[in-house]
Amino acid sequence: MARSMTAFERCERTEDWGRLSCELRSVNHRYLDVSLRMPEDLRQLEGQVRERIAARLGRGKVECGIRFEAAAGAVSVELNWAYADQLIAVAEALRKRLGEAAAPVSPVDLLRLPGVMSEPGRDMDPVHAAVMGLLEETLDGFVASREREGRRLAGMIHERAQRLTELAEQLRGDLPAIRERLRARLEARLAELPEPADPGRLEQELVYMAQRMDVDEELDRLVTHVEEIGRVLERREPIGRRLDFLMQELNREANTLGSKSAALESTQISVDMKVLIEQMREQIQNLE
Least confident of 50-54, 103-107, 122-126, 156-160: 103-107
**Domains of the chain listed by start with CATH number:** 7-74+125-146 (3.30.230), 78-118 (no CATH), 148-284 (no CATH)
Model confidence at 213, in pLDDT bands (50, 70, 90)?
Answer: low
Residue type, 85: D
Residue 209 — pLDDT band, cuts 50, 70, 90? low
Give the predicted TM-score (pTM) of the model.
0.70
Q: Answer for the pair 271, 141: CB distance below 8 angstroms, yes or no.
A: no
Beta strands across the sheet bearing 7-15: 7-15, 18-27, 60-70, 32-37
Per-residue pLDDT tens over the stretch 139-156: 999 999 999 999 999 999
> Rounded to an integer, what distance in angstroms lies between the CA atom of residue 246 and that of residue 283?
13
Q: Which residues contact 175 (CB under 8 A, 6 or more apart)?
A: 213, 215, 266
